[in-house]
Structure 1
Amino acid sequence: MAINVVIAGPRGKMGSEAVKMVLNEEDFRLVACIDRKNDGKTLNSIISSVDATVPIYDDIETCLDQQKEVDVLVELSVPEAGYKHTKCAINHGIRPVVGTTGFTENQLAELDELAKKQNIGCIIAPNFAIGAVLMMKFAKMAASYFPDVDIIEKHHDNKLDAPSGTAIKTAELISENRTVKQQGHPEEKETLTGARGADVDGMKVHSIRLPGLVAHQEVIFGSAGQTLTIKHDSIDRASFMDGVKFCIERVLESKGLTYGLENIL
């Protein structure tokens, strides 16, 4: 039986890749899209490379009220809409797979509680690339031996949030194994505010935004006489689609909120 999917954010770079992936998968069926600018149109009228006459809605409530056979919402829109869309899907008994970032701890806790109440799964993945997930897991392992660490994440200049969800998740995983310490000289001063990056338990997180980039991160550990760099590069958004596909399949079997692809690999 096909898995019926709604995609929020079909015009975005991630969303357009997800549209192609879902349309090309025999076991998936794209039943609708959510796009704030194209209510009432069909997908083939806004994406020239797509010939599917999939309906578009600008309001998720209307979409889910009219589309009665939806299994999964793939949320790839923008941070200000991501929480609303995810919560609405759960309240309709529809399982969200979310790549949009920027959720607060309180929002994550609320979504987890709602999903458990509805007895359905919800997966929020700051990064769908399998290699990026391995990069995070390796960094967590290394943190037991290298407590001095900087995280440098680089993305395209249209990304709205900084630092990235991947960088935040990496810092959280490192913190589980790292002894909390303040890095650098105790009397260091920034002559330009922000030069040393954001601070997470004493480790530094730096964000770079430039045209030509897609999604890149390196975690640099240092100790006496040596450095260790763990790096991942996504050079095409197709790299994320195996993870999206995997999550669509797995969210049907899970219960409550799963935050991070590494928890279901």
Structure 2
Amino acid sequence: MAINVVIAGPRGKMGSEAVKMVENETNFRLVACIDHKNNGRTLDTIFPDVERSIPIYDDATKCFENHKDADVLIELSVPQAGYKHTKSALEHHVRPVVGTTGFTEVQLKELDEFAQRNNMGCMIIPNFALGAVLMMKFAKMAATYFPDVDIIEKHHDQKLDAPSGTAIKTAELISENRKAKTQGHPKEEETIPGARGADLDGIKLHSVRLPGLVAHQEVIFGSPGQTLTIKHDSMDRSSFMDGVKLCVNKVMEVKGLIYGLDTIL
């Protein structure tokens, strides 16, 4: 039986890839889209390759009320709208698969409680690339032996949040195998504030935003006489679609909030 999908953010670079992926999957069926600019239009008027007249809504609640057959929301819009769309999906018994980042701890807790209460799955995935998940797992392993570490994440200049969800998730995983510590010289001073990056349990996170980039991350460990660099690069957003596909299928089976693709691999 086909999984009925709603996509939020279909005009974005990730969203447009998701539209192609869902339309090409025989067991997925795209039933509607959420887009703040094209209310009342149909997707075929925006994407000539889409042959069906899939309705577009600017209001998530109205979308879910009109499509009670929807099973999964693929949320790929922007941080300001992502939480609202995700919560509305859960309220209408639609399971969210969320690539939008920037949720607070309070919001994550609330979504988890809501999903548990309704016996539904909700997945928030900072990075859908399988290679990025392996990079995070390797970094967690290395942290047992290399406690001094910096994370450099590089993304396109249209990304709204910094540091990236992937960088934060990586730092959280590293912290599970590393005691919090202050790195660098004890008398270190930033002559320009922010020069040493953001700080999470003493791990320094640096964000680069430039045109031409897609999604890239380096985790650099240092110890006397050696360094270890674990790196992942996504050159094209098609690299994320295998992860999206996996999550759409998996969210139908799980209960509560799942955070990070690493937890289901």
TM-score (normalizing by structure 1):
0.99
CA distance in 2, matches of 1:124, 1:162: 17
What residue in structure 1 maps to residue 158 of structure 2? 158
AA matched with 2:6: V
CA distance in 1, matches of 2:248, 2:214: 23
Instruction: Please give the residue correspondences for 1:15-54 in structure 2 after superposition, counting only pairs within 5 Å.
Output: 15-54=15-54
Per the TM alignment, residue 50 of structure 1 is displaced from its structure 2 partner at its CA by: 2.5
SS of 2:212 mapped into structure 1: coil
AA matched with 1:241: M
Q: Deviations over 1:109-146 (max 9, x none)?
A: 00000001110100100000000000000000000100
TM-score (normalizing by structure 2):
0.99
What residue in structure 2 maps to residue 232 of structure 1? 232
What residue in structure 1 maps to residue 168 of structure 2? 168
Instruction: Please give the residue correspondences for 1:1-265 in structure 2 after superposition, counting only pairs within 5 Å.
Output: 1-265=1-265
- Where structure 1 has 5 or more consecutive residues not aligned to the other structure, the ranges are none
SS of 2:181 mapped into structure 1: coil
Identity %: 75
AA matched with 1:47: F
Q: CA RMSD in A?
A: 0.6
- Where structure 2 has 5 or more consecutive residues not aligned to the other structure, the ranges are none
CA distance in 2, matches of 1:254, 1:234: 28
Q: Deviations over 1:134-172 (max 9, x none)?
A: 000000000010000000000000000000000000000
SS of 2:227 mapped into structure 1: strand
SS of 1:249 mapped into structure 2: helix
AA matched with 2:110: E
SS of 2:207 mapped into structure 1: strand
CA distance in 1, matches of 2:24, 2:125: 22
Which stretches of structure 1, 4 residues or more, deviate above 4 A after TM superposition? Answer: none
CA distance in 2, matches of 1:66, 1:12: 23
